[in-house]
């Protein structure tokens, strides 16, 4: 009888301790950073019809930043123009850059820091951008990380030659958009997804821009089409992470460089359009680093990106 009681007590203790055991913490060991150039908070946050797949399938698993009248705010720390904003994102500080023609950033960037301080190989830190000027925000010393901007053909980082998929996409982009220095987002994203699958970089920045291009020419249908593509692209990315068994260990940050003006000024952005300072972010498997607290209000900005990513890799 005593033996039976002892065994029963031992079993009950084991079951209780197992049921209340702290689940193992999954370490984040990879970050994918996605910027949707010039995408307004109104379409990203307010009206879910523009990103229906995201809101239906993934939003509940993400932290959302910049919702109006919430306890947090999200904005551009620099003036709301693309290159100044991207330079502030990559450096963690507002840079002396007042336009898209200010040239290459003069301080070490986030991608470079990951190589120098975390010991990542060049091919472990990859940047794919539709906008050719992004090279001026990515590195202050050219060649530190893998950068593929604009209409430049993508190449294998080991052989310096395009593999079969890269070559096919390079050719398609060249036939589809033979003139100009920018690249259509569909090719930028396809190249990035292929690179992710093949090389599994530790940090990848995918910078898309069709929304901004369409807005500047007052092409609302084109702007909406770009948002539809982004929605489908994010769905493909999350599915790819599951297929690669990286969905639990990858942080995904989705945001923009600036907002846009109100009403008829939706086509524009800059210091003369205060509304274009307001931005937003989605974060999967993590949260942003705030830049300030003001009572109940927690403030986030483009300066939140660098410390957020650095914190992921400093834990290892």
pLDDT for the residue 2: 38
The model's confidence at residue 179, banded by pLDDT at 50, 70 and 90, is: confident
pLDDT for the residue 180: 81
pLDDT for the residue 5: 39
Token pair recorded at residue 102: 């200010």
Cα 190–194–195 angle (5° rounding)?
115
- In sequence order, what are the beta bridge partners of 149? 129
pLDDT digits (tens, 9 = 90+) for 22-56: 344 469 999 999 999 999 999 999 889 999 999 99
Are 75 and 277 in contact by the 8 Å Cβ rule? The answer is yes
Q: Where are the domains of the chain?
A: 33-314
The model's confidence at residue 214, banded by pLDDT at 50, 70 and 90, is: very high
Average pLDDT over residues 218-228: 98
The C-alpha atoms of residue 140 and residue 81 are separated, in whole angstroms, by 19
Residue 272: CA count within 13 A, CB half-sphere: 4
Q: What is the topology classification, in CATH, of domain 33-314?
A: Alkaline Phosphatase, subunit A (3.40.720)
The C-alpha atoms of residue 277 and residue 271 are separated, in whole angstroms, by 8
Instruction: Please give the share of the chain, as a percent, with pLDDT higher than 90.
Output: 85
Which positions ≥6 away from 250 have C-beta within 8 Å? 28, 29, 30, 31, 32, 241, 284, 285
The C-alpha atoms of residue 235 and residue 71 are separated, in whole angstroms, by 28
The model's confidence at residue 294, banded by pLDDT at 50, 70 and 90, is: confident
pTM, entire model: 0.91
Q: In degrees rounded to 5, what are phi and psi of residue 60? A: -65, -20
The model's confidence at residue 315, banded by pLDDT at 50, 70 and 90, is: low
**Type and span of the H or E element at 254:** strand 250-255
pLDDT digits (tens, 9 = 90+) for 264-279: 999 999 999 999 999 9
The C-alpha atoms of residue 227 and residue 254 are separated, in whole angstroms, by 13
Are 310 and 110 in contact by the 8 Å Cβ rule? The answer is yes
CA torsion sign for 172, 177, 179, 182 is negative
Q: In degrees rounded to 5, what are phi and psi of residue 107? A: -125, 165
Q: In degrees rounded to 5, what are phi and psi of residue 126? A: -120, 140
What stretches of the chain show up as alpha helix (H) in DSSP? 2-19, 41, 52-57, 82-91, 110-118, 135-138, 164-176, 185-199, 210-216, 220-243, 305-314
In angstroms, the Cα distances linking 41 to 46, 53, 163 are 7, 17, 38
Among 12-26, 94-108, 236-250, the least confident range: 12-26
For residue 214, give the DSSP letter: H
């Amino acid at each position: 009888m005593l033996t039976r009681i002892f065994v029963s007590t031992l079993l009950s203790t084991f079951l209780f301790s197992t049921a209340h055991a702290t689940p193992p913490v999954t370490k984040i060991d990879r970050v994918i950073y996605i910027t949707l150039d010039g995408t307004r908070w109104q379409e990203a946050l307010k009206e879910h019809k523009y990103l229906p797949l995201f809101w239906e399938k993934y939003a509940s698993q993400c932290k959302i930043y910049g919702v109006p009248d919430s306890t947090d705010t999200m904005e551009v720390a620099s003036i709301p123009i693309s290159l100044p904003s991207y330079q502030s994102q990559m450096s963690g500080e507002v840079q002396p850059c007042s336009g898209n023609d200010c040239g290459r950033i003069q301080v070490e960037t986030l991608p470079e820091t990951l190589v120098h301080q975390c010991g990542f190989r060049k091919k472990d830190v990859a940047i794919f951008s539709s906008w050719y000027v992004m090279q001026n925000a990515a590195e202050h010393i050219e060649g530190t990380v893998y950068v593929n901007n604009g209409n430049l053909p993508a190449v294998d980082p080991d052989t310096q030659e395009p593999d079969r998929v890269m070559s096919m996409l390079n050719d398609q982009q060249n036939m589809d958009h033979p003139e100009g220095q920018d690249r259509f987002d569909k090719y930028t994203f396809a190249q990035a997804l292929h690179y992710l699958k093949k090389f599994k970089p530790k940090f990848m920045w995918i910078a898309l821009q069709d929304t901004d291009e369409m807005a500047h020419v007052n092409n609302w249908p084109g702007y909406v089409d770009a948002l539809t593509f982004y929605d489908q692209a994010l769905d493909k990315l999350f599915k790819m992470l599951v297929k690669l068994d990286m969905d639990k260990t990858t942080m995904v940050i989705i945001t923009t460089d600036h907002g846009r003006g109100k009403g008829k000024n939706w086509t524009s952005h800059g210091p003369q359009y205060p509304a274009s300072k307001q931005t937003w972010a989605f974060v999967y498997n993590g949260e942003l680093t705030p830049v300030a607290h003001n009572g109940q209000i927690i403030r986030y900005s483009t300066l939140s990106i660098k410390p957020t990513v650095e914190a992921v890799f400093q834990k290892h």
